[in-house]
Amino acid sequence: MDDAIVQAVANHAEKVLGKEGYNYTCAVVANCRMLAVELEDGNEKIRPLNMNALIIAAYLHNISTVEFGFPDHQGKSAEMAVVFLHTLDAPEQLTSHVERIILDHTNAVASEAGDAIPFEGRILYDADKIGRLSGLAVVTSLIEFGARYPNRAVNAEILAAILRHIEERFIDLYQSLNTVPAQRLANEKFGNTLAFLDGVIEHLSDATPV
């Protein structure tokens, strides 16, 4: 029964999110599966894991963004996920678990507060953030800045300041990862991205009149 629900959820996500959004979501789903396997095979102690709930939540965690955007999207996506799962007659326990995971997937959780949210929510947080620690995320951040301030002139000094801000965000993001496998997986991407940012910032700073 749950396998059929997972497939129906995947089909729904593809329809709602479109090609680009669905491709990103599939990468998050793959990260969730990989992290869950490594956690279960490794030495890190985890609580019993509901894989179906995790994967369903991963497919549906961004479904509200197409219509409503990303700010506070976890609440609206959780609401839409519940509505859709009810159309599939999904078990109520599964539906409520998926809802909780989506609601919590944007929260950075201190280690001492880890038991406050489902472990699946912590895994989805990590799976969602790993892809945002690459050089491509830097380009995305610059595009977002350009879209937000279309009429603002950008010189070397301003661009260096923007990149410093992005670098600070990357560091905070990396330090917020919950699981050892996620930290290990992100480490190479994180190091390469920081080296890239440091090099560009140094070049821009040298080019900026004092």
What is the pTM for the complete model shown? 0.77
pLDDT band for position 126 (cuts 50, 70, 90): very high
Report residue 162's pLDDT band, with 50, 70 and 90 as the boundaries: confident
Phi, psi of 109 (to 5 degrees): -115, 125
CA 164 to chain centre: 21
Domain boundary among 91, 109, 131: 131
Tokens of 181: 């496998």
Confidence class for position 136, pLDDT limits 50, 70, 90: low
Two tokens at 145? Answer: 């800045």
* CA angle centred on 187, ends 143 and 193, rounded to 5°: 30
**CA gap 53, 93 in Å, rounded:** 10
Classify the C-alpha dihedral 184-51-128-45 as positive or negative.
negative
Query: Would you place residue 97 in the very low, low, confident or very high pLDDT band (cuts 50, 70, 90)?
Result: very high
Q: Which of 78, 113, 131 is the last residue of a domain?
A: 131
Query: What's residue 196's pLDDT?
Result: 78
The SS3 of residue 176 is coil
Last residue of a domain, one of 84, 103, 131: 131
